[in-house]
C-alpha cells in the first residue's frame, strides 16, 4: 500500500484515524499495531510471518543478552545480528550473488547454479537497520530492553516509516511508545496533516510528472539521447528522486505526528550543499547517521591512521551503495561518493569553498548528477553509455519526448530544490507567519491543506503513474 494511492487516502487513513482517536489511551498502541500489520499485509502478505517471527526472536534474544555476561553475552549479540542480517542477505542479495557466481562459472565453461528468484520483502532494508540499531543500543547500554513484545513490534512495524523510512532509532521514540506520553490535539492533527500533504504534493505534483519523462528516456538505448537531452534528463531525475524520497519522508513524519509521534527529519535541501561531505549531512540524514554510528565509528572513525580512515570511508559507502540495491550500479554509486568524501579530506572541499558559495554549490550538484547516472541506469553498460552521451554531440532532440508541463515542473523542481539558499526570504516568511497569530495560522494551515489535498487528489485521479523509487530498497 502506498501513501499516494486512493485506497490509502480515502479509505485506510480516515478509518484508521477515526478508530485511533476514538479508542481509549490503553488501546491506542494496539490500534496502531493492528493497522500497521494490515498495512504491510496489503502489499506483502507472504512476508508477515517472516517479519513477525524475526521480531519475536530479536525481542527475546536481546532480553537474554541483557541478562548474560562475558563471552556468552557476545555470542548472543552475534547470533541476534546474524539472524537479522541473514534475512536481509538471503532475500535481497542471494540472487545477486548467484548471478555473479554463474558469470564466473561461465568463464570457465562450467554450468551455473539454478535457483528460483527470491522475492524481496517490502522495506526489508529499513526494517533491518532499525532492528540492528535496537540490538546494539541495548547491548551497549544506551537503552534498556523493552518489557513488552508488542511495544517492540510497534516500534519496528509502525506503518508511517515501515516501507521507506526515515530510519528511526529506538532512543528517538522510546519515551513516546507509551500511549499516555503522546500528546494528541486538533493542532497536532492539523500540523501532521499539512506536513503529510506537503509530502504528497512533492510526490504527486512534482516527482511523478518528472518521472514519466525520465522513465521514458531511460527506456531508450543510451545512444539515442543527445548531450543536451542527457543532461536535462539526469537533472530531472535528480529532482524526481529528491521529491519522491523527501516527499515520502514528509508524509511519514506527518502521519506519525497525527499519531503523536515525533520522527527525525530526513532531508535539508541537499542540493544547496557546497561539498559531498555537506551533501551527506543533508541527504537521507537518518541513513548517514546510522552508517556513522553503527559502522564508521566502530571501524575506528577518525581515530585511526589516514590510510585506514580512507579505507573505512570507502567500506562504509560501498556498503551504503549495496544497501540501496543488489547490483553493481549501486556499489559503484556508493564507491563514487566515498571517493569524493576522501577527496574532500584531501583538499577538494577547501578548494571549492575558495571558489565561492554559488560555484561550490553548482560543482557539487554536478558531482551528484554524475553519480545519479549509476543509480538510475538499468545496467552498468547503460550507465557507461549514458555517461558517454553526456559529453557527446549526437542523438535525439529533447522535444521528441517532452511537453510544456515537463519544463514547468522542472523549473518548479529547481526552485524548490534550491530554496534553502534564500535564507532571507525564508526568515521574512517565517516572521510574517508568526505575526498572523493563532487564528491566522490555523486559517493558513486549513487553506493550505484544502488546496494541496484537492490538487493531489485531482492529479491522482487523472494519472495512473504513481511509483515510489525507494520502495524497492
Angle (CA) 395 401 402, round 5°:
120
Position 376 pLDDT exceeds 70: yes
Q: Which candidate in 140, 186, 284, 324 is catalytic?
A: 324
Which class for 244: exposed (0-12), middle (13-18), buried (19 or more C-beta within 10 A)?
Answer: buried
Contact 20, 38 (CB under 8 A): no
Q: Which three cell numbers stand for residue 122?
A: 517490502
Q: How many CA atoms lie within 13 A of 358 on its CB side?
A: 1
Cis peptide before 169 (omega within 30 of 0): no
Q: What is the pTM of this model?
A: 0.92
Average pLDDT over residues 251-275: 96
Q: Residue with C-alpha cell 543532461?
A: 231
Active site (annotated) includes residue 140: no
**Which residues have a Cβ under 8 Å from the Cβ of 441 and sit 6 or more positions away?**
433
Share of the chain above pLDDT 90, in %: 58
pLDDT tens digits, 154-186: 999 999 998 887 999 998 999 999 999 998 888
Question: Which residues is 225 bridged to in the sheet?
Answer: 396
pLDDT tens digits, 59-94: 999 999 999 888 999 999 999 999 999 988 888 888
Angle (CA) 298 302 304, round 5°:
85
Q: Which three cell numbers stand for residue 336?
A: 563514487
pLDDT tens digits, 426-452: 666 667 666 676 677 677 777 877 888
pLDDT tens digits, 33-47: 999 999 988 877 778
Average pLDDT over residues 95-106: 82
Position 400 pLDDT exceeds 60: no
Contact 213, 253 (CB under 8 A): no
Position 399 pLDDT exceeds 60: no
The rounded distance, in Å, linking the Cα atoms of 433 and 397 is 45
Model pLDDT, residue 97: 85
The rounded distance, in Å, linking the Cα atoms of 76 and 59 is 12
Q: Which three-class secondary structure string do you get for 160-188?
A: HHHCCCCCCCHHHHHHHCCHHHCCCCHHH
Amino acid at each position: 500500500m502506498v501513501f499516494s494511492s486512493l485506497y490509502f487516502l480515502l479509505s485506510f487513513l480516515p478509518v484508521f484515524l477515526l478508530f485511533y482517536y476514538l479508542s481509549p489511551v490503553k488501546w491506542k498502541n494496539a490500534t496502531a499495531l493492528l493497522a500497521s500489520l494490515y498495512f504491510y499485509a496489503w502489499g506483502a502478505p507472504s512476508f508477515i510471518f517472516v517479519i513477525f517471527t524475526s521480531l519475536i526472536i530479536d525481542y527475546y534474544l536481546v532480553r537474554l543478552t541483557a541478562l548474560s555476561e562475558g563471552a556468552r553475552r557476545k555470542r548472543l549479540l552475534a547470533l541476534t545480528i546474524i539472524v537479522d542480517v541473514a534475512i536481509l542477505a538471503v532475500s535481497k542479495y542471494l540472487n545477486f550473488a548467484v548471478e555473479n557466481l554463474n558469470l564466473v562459472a561461465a568463464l570457465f565453461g562450467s554450468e551455473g547454479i539454478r535457483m528460483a528468484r527470491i522475492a524481496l520483502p517490502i522495506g526489508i532494508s529499513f526494517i533491518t537497520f532499525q532492528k540492528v540499531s535496537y540490538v546494539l543500543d541495548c547491548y551497549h547500554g544506551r537503552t534498556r530492553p523493552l518489557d513488552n513484545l508488542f511495544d517492540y513490534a510497534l516500534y519496528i512495524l509502525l506503518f508511517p516509516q515501515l516501507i521507506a523510512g526515515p530510519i528511526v532509532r529506538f532512543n528517538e521514540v522510546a519515551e513516546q511508545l507509551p500511549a499516555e506520553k503522546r500528546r494528541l490535539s486538533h493542532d497536532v492533527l492539523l500540523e501532521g496533516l499539512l506536513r503529510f500533504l506537503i509530502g504528497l504534493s512533492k510526490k504527486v505534483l512534482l516527482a511523478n510528472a518528472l518521472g514519466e519523462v525520465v522513465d521514458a528516456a531511460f527506456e531508450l538505448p543510451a545512444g539515442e539521447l543527445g548531450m543536451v537531452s542527457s543532461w536535462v534528463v539526469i537533472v530531472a531525475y535528480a529532482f524526481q528522486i529528491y521529491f519522491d524520497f523527501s516527499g515520502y519522508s514528509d508524509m511519514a513524519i506527518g502521519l506519525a505526528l497525527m499519531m503523536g509521534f515525533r520522527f527525525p527529519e530526513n532531508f535539508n535541501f541537499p542540493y544547496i550543499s557546497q561539498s559531498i561531505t555537506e551533501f551527506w549531512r543533508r541527504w537521507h540524514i537518518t541513513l548517514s547517521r546510522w552508517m556513522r554510528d553503527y559502522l564508521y565509528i566502530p571501524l575506528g572513525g577518525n581515530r585511526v591512521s589516514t590510510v585506514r580512515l580512507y579505507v573505512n570511508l570507502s567500506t562504509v559507502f560501498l556498503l551504503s551503495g549495496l544497501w540501496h540495491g543488489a547490483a553493481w550500479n549501486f556499489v559503484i554509486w556508493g564507491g563514487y561518493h566515498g571517493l569524493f568524501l576522501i577527496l574532500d579530506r584531501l583538499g577538494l572541499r577547501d578548494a571549492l569553498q575558495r571558489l565561492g558559495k554559488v560555484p561550490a554549490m553548482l560543482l557539487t550538484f554536478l558531482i551528484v548528477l554524475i553519480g545519479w547516472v549509476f543509480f538510475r541506469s538499468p545496467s552498468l553498460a547503460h550507465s557507461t553509455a549514458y555517461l558517454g552521451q553526456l559529453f557527446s554531440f549526437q542523438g535525439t532532440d529533447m522535444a521528441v519526448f517532452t511537453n510544456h508541463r515537463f519544463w514547468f515542473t522542472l523549473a518548479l523542481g529547481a526552485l524548490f530544490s534550491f530554496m534553502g539558499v534564500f535564507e532571507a526570504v525564508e526568515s521574512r516568511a517565517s516572521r510574517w507567519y508568526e505575526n498572523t497569530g493563532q487564528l491566522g495560522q490555523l486559517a493558513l494551515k486549513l487553506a493550505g491543506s484544502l488546496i494541496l489535498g484537492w490538487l493531489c487528489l485531482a492529479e491522482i485521479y487523472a494519472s495512473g503513474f504513481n511509483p515510489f523509487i525507494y520502495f524497492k530498497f
